[in-house]
Every structure is written in C-alpha cells, then in structure tokens.
Structure 1
C-alpha cells in the first residue's frame, strides 16, 4: 500500500484509528513518517503541519492508558517511529512506568526492545528504571540481611528465582548492546561521570553489575574502572571524616560501605553471571595494583583489602577460575616491587 498517495486527512484518520486500536504497530510508524513530510492540512477543524500533527499525536499516545501485555509490542513500534529528542524522552519515560506492572518473564523482551529504541540516546533512563525495579524487587529483600561478611560467603537461594533469571537475561542484553558499540553506552557512562561526587548512586548493586558486565568489553574497561574506583575512594574518605567529625556525622547521616555493596554484587553473581564475575576479578586486581603514598596510606590499604575480599570470595566459590586468579597473583608477586597485598591475598582464612 502506497501511503504517499493518500490525502493528509485520510492519513490522520488512519492514525486516529491506530490510536484507538493500538495493536496496529506496523502501520502507525509509516503513517507518521508520511504525514511528517506534509506541509499544511486541516483535521478536526485544526490546521496542522505534518510535524505539528506528529507532535500532538505522540502527546496523545503518551497520555493514553496501555495494557501492560502490549507494551513490548508498542516499544518495537516506537523504534521505527520518527521522533525528536524531546518526543523520544517522553516516550521512554512513559514506557518506563510499565516495568513495575510486568511479570519477571515479560521484562527481558521488553528491555531488549527498549534498548533498541534507545540506541542513540536516553539509554541511561533504561538503566535507571531497571535499577529502581531491581532494588524494589530483589536487592531490597537483602537489605535486612546480616552484614556479616561470612553470610555473603554462602550462595543463598532467592525467594524470587524468576526475578534473578530475568535480571541475568537483562544483563546479557545490555552486554550485547555495548558490544555493538552503540553511542548510547558512551552517553550512559558520561552521565555517570557527572555524579562521581555522589558515590551512593554508582555504588549500587545493580548499577555495579551493569558496569562490570560492560567492563568485560576491552574498549570500556578502563573508563568503567575510572568511574567505580573514585567512588570507592570518596566513600572511604567520607567514612574517615565521619569518624573524626561530629559535624560531618550530622550532615552526612549514612555512608555507603563499599565492602557491603561489593559483597552483594559477588553474592548475586556467583551462580550464572560469568561476565559480572570476570569484571569483578579484573577490578579486584586493579584495586590490588593501587600504589601507596610515602608512609602509611590508609585509603590505599582499604582498596587492597577490598580487592583481596573480592578475589577471595570468588575463588572460594568459582573453582573453575581459582587457578587462573592464583597464578596471576603469583606472577605479580614475582614481577612487582610492592607485593605485600598480593601475598596477603594468598593467605586464605
């Protein structure tokens, strides 16, 4: 069907029909593409240009109530729809409100389509929505767990295995998008660089799992570790200030402890998230390789201890990579000058 031969009024009528029968996903993007090229036409006693009609139509579409079971279908429709950046953001915000209404099985295909839709921009919005959902449905359940590090040495069975499996699939989709070199990943990482002064935002279990997953792509590893490590350092510095300043304790009531957050990441990743584990191992060695200032450097020592903790927890439970980690530790002991932190890592309790 050659829509370019249709009058603008009839195209607008078809768009209105699609709005009422929202399942017409294949036709609507093409209709709006054709209408957007039209100059002026009248519809419902209002004079529009094609661009104006498309803008109003997208607004109406976003104000409509959608059934959660067709949101994934709608997301795939929006991929082919001509949208400005402002319209794109509006649609992403609308789509993001539906994730809480979905079952765990519905989330991975929805996120797959949403990541495709956000190929060029607003990818950070997808991660933010996932972070909020994850904290409410998975990590939130662990907030009341004991913070004793021995508790994290055990692989606990979650009450919501479906949510865990959905999260693993979502991480795989994010890795796939990152491996394709989409600009949206660069935009996402740049957005995180703007919040380095708020380590609690980045030192979030799901956010870290996303970052460690992406870090397994060599092109992104250094950039990601340069985002995570300064947040860890800042957290340690803030904790030191809280210990020595009553005023600072009142102003900053709570501080994230990197050990607790990283322990959660390890715990959630031990079963079937090999990419996260790989990223954690690489980051553990980065922490162990931090140089110290002259004299005693408490911040450097804390980073060594954190790297030590990460590697020990992993090699205790992931026997298949234990030999590689131990061999790398031995190589560093032989070839490097300051090696006490590597030796300590081999002293398994």
Structure 2
C-alpha cells in the first residue's frame, strides 16, 4: 500500500489496541503502543530510501528483504528496544504484540497489491502479488479517515476500528470474488491463455489485464467484468544475439527483467549505436506503456547509457539517457 494508507492503518491499530485490557489499564502502555504501531506500520518501507541511489537498486530491493519473514520478526524487536526505555512502566509483552501486529499487517496488505512482496524469503525469492487491491485504494484509505474522525470527536477508538476492520474483511473478500469473475471472463475470451495478470486500478470496477498465449500478448481492460482487448502483440522470444547479450549485462535492464513478468522488446540500429528497449505490458495508460528499460550500446557493444523506470514522454527518456539518436 502507499505511505498514507500505512500511516492511517498504524493509527487505527493504536486505536484498536485500546480493546486490549492490559493496554487500556496502563497510560504508559497506551502511549507506547500508539507510537509503536505507527512506527511499525511504516518500518518495512524503509527501503524506499534506495530510490535515492537509482531505480535499478530500488526495483531489485523494494519490498524484498525488509518484507521477509526474518524482517517481520526482527522489526518489532528493534522498535520495542528503542521505545521501551522511554516508557519503562509499559507492559513489554503487549507492547511487542501490538508492534508485531503492525509490522505483520503492513507486509500482509502489501501482498494483495499487483506489485507484491518477497514475503516468503528466505524460503523463496518469488514475488507474492495477488493483484486484488490497488496500491492506493481510496475506499480503504477513506474508511480509515472516517474512523480517525469519529475517534477525534469522542468515539471509542477500539470499537470504531473493530467495526471498520470487519467491514474491510468483507471488502477484501468481495474484491477477491470480483477478480475471479474477471479471470473467468478472460479465460472465456482467450481460452489458450498460458498466463493471465489481472491488476486493480483506483476505479472500483476497472482492472488492467495482460495475457499471454503461445503466440501473442494481449493487453486490455475489464469494466464490470466485461473484458476489452486494447492491444495485441506478436510474442517473439528474446534472441541470444551479441547485442542483447551485452545489453542484459546492464544493471537497469537486469533489474527490469527481475521484476517484470510480461514484456516485449525492440532493437533500433542507429548510425553510431544500438538501442535496446524492453516494455512492461502491465501498465498501459492512455495508449502508452510507461514502465520501460532502455540500454544504448556503441558499435563495440560497450554500454553508453541506460535507464529503467516510469517515462511518459520520449523527450524525458532522451534526457534521462543523455544521448539523442542521429
């Protein structure tokens, strides 16, 4: 989920914790739990700072080790170790329990996004991405804000957020069933599909679709379970040519390939250099595919420039690469 949603979830868990009689009976425990759930709901996303280095490092590592099983166990210990000395009268066990719940919930809800997490590490490096909830879901964010407002106006935080989380469990189940209905519609339309990726959008009834069969890629949208194919591409395997072999050694393209399951590729042969482009087909927006990896190589196959990330115009891409084709 996005940072804002994790923040309101942290506040909500702090409010929910007031239903715990051990927490409610101790002002020090209440205060420390409030701080800990807020921090714990953010801690796994500390790897966002990797974006300051470059997109390749960020793509390879975001929601990786910081969302792994060992991290989920270690984050609460570290957070409690920092907070507890300031609140020595707090109940240590219940402080740890609610901190653990905050960290666990952060990783758990991220699994439902299309981006996903490597939550099974170290047992598996596979990305777990159920694609049911958008990274920012206005309904989830909004109902948390409503709960916080009720709390601010004197409502009981524990019962308020208990009711909200019961509603959200129903919402997640409904989204799951809706996605399954879209999946059935896609299979009916493309019966020989070998891989189907269905991703949510911020619009409640709209879903992004990327499909592969043995010969083609299909890109489309579903609206109210009605599937419409917007683009089709011939599925051409990536050949083992010297240019592509050299391009794959680039850190940006390597990061892209580690992350993207559905893509097409292009090679442009300019007078002085080659340009290799890989295009992720999951994020079609207004007829454009903004998530790409581009590598430029000279005639001796030395890498001149490269980029991976979100690009919404060719002009901006050229600025990133710093080389204009002649």
Shared fold per TM-score greater than 0.5? no
Please give the TM-score of this superposition, normalised by the length of structure 1. 0.20
Structure with bigger helix share is 1
Larger Rg: 1
In the superposition, the TM-score normalised over structure 2's length comes to 0.21
